[in-house]
Amino acid sequence: MIRNGIEVILDVVFNHTAEGGDRDRYISYRGIDNRTYYLLDDQGRYLNFSGCGNTMNCNNAVVRNCPSMAAIHGAWTRARRI
């Protein structure tokens, strides 16, 4: 599409993940360090400000770094010449 002059908008989401709520399967961040990567209440339940069952903990510097690293090192940025 780009070669034909059609602008492509790429929407990458970093405010939640596919892991869903606390009863869903472990895919990535939950298995690494649940409390670092997700916003949790005092009882350890997911806070759901994204409407997808979980919300990333962007208050943590490690999590805030994820979008930057994805943009810098992501194969999709090179493939799309971003």
- Pair 56, 77: CB distance under 8 Å: no
Chain-centroid distance of CA 64 in Å reads 10
Task: Give the phi and the psi of residue 38 in degrees, each rounded to 5.
Answer: -125, 150
* pLDDT score of 19: 73
* pLDDT score of 2: 66
Who contacts 48 (Cβ-Cβ below 8 Å, separation ≥6)? 21, 54, 55
* pLDDT score of 12: 73
Separation in Å, CA 31 to CA 16, 22, 24, 52, 59: 15, 12, 12, 18, 19
pLDDT tens digit sequence for 3-23: 788 877 777 777 777 776 667
The residues pairing with 56 across neighbouring beta strands, listed in sequence order, are 38
Percent of the chain residues past pLDDT 90, beyond the cut: 12
pLDDT tens digit sequence for 33-67: 889 999 999 998 888 888 877 888 989 999 988 87
